[in-house]
Amino acid sequence: MLLTNLSTQNLFFSICIPQYNRTSFLIEACKVLASQTFKDFEVCISDDCSTDGKEQDLINYLQSSGLSFIYKKQETNLRYDSNMKESIALAKGKYCFLHGNDDCLASNTTLEDLYQEIQKYESIGAIITNFEDWETGEKNWRIRQSNLVGSGVEIAVTHFRNLAFVTGILVDRELAQKHTTNKWDGSEMYQMYIISRIIASGHSLLELDMSAARKDIQITGESVDSYIKPKLDPCPIIERKLPMVQIGRLIADAIDPYLDNSNRSRLLEKIFLQLYLFTYPFWIIEYRKVQSWKYSLGLCLGFQPKNTFLGLDIGWLRTIRLYLVYVIICLVGLITPINLFKQIKPILFAISKTLFSSQKNNLNLKESV
Domain assignments of the chain as residue spans, ordered by start? 2-215, 243-368
Rounded-to-integer distance, Cα 118 and Cα 176, Å: 17
What does CATH list as the number for 2-215?
Answer: 3.90.550.10
Question: Do residues 280 and 341 touch, judged by C-beta distance below 8 A?
Answer: no
Question: Do residues 104 and 134 touch, judged by C-beta distance below 8 A?
Answer: yes
Query: Which residues does 335 contact at the CB level (< 8 Å), separation at least 6?
Result: none
Rounded-to-integer distance, Cα 296 and Cα 284, Å: 5
Phi-psi region of 104 (alpha: psi -120 to 50; beta: other; left: phi over 0): beta
Q: What are phi and psi of 292, to 5 degrees?
A: -165, 170
Three-state SS at 234: coil
Q: Beta-carbon neighbour count of residue 228 at 10 Å? A: 11
- Walk along the chain (369 residues) and give the pLDDT tens digit of each residue: 898 888 777 899 999 999 999 999 999 999 999 999 999 999 999 999 999 999 999 999 999 999 999 999 999 999 999 999 999 999 999 999 999 999 999 999 999 999 999 999 988 999 999 999 998 988 888 998 999 999 999 999 999 999 999 999 999 999 999 999 999 999 999 999 999 999 999 999 999 999 999 999 999 988 888 777 889 999 999 999 999 999 999 999 999 999 998 899 999 999 999 999 999 999 999 999 999 999 999 999 999 999 999 889 999 999 999 999 999 999 999 999 988 887 777 666 666 666 665 444 444 433 433
Question: Do residues 89 and 14 touch, judged by C-beta distance below 8 A?
Answer: no
Residue at 245: amino acid letter: V
pLDDT of residue 355: 65
Residues linked to residue 104 through DSSP beta bridges, in sequence order: 214
Helices (H), 72-164: 80-89, 110-118, 153-159
Question: Do residues 271 and 163 touch, judged by C-beta distance below 8 A?
Answer: no
Query: For strand 69-73 and strand 41-47, is the pairing parallel, antiparallel, or unpaired?
Result: parallel
Q: What are phi and psi of 97, to 5 degrees?
A: -95, 110
Rounded-to-integer distance, Cα 287 and Cα 302, Å: 13
CA atoms within 13 A on the CB side of 100: 22
Phi-psi region of 311 (alpha: psi -120 to 50; beta: other; left: phi over 0): left
pLDDT of residue 184: 97
pLDDT of residue 8: 75
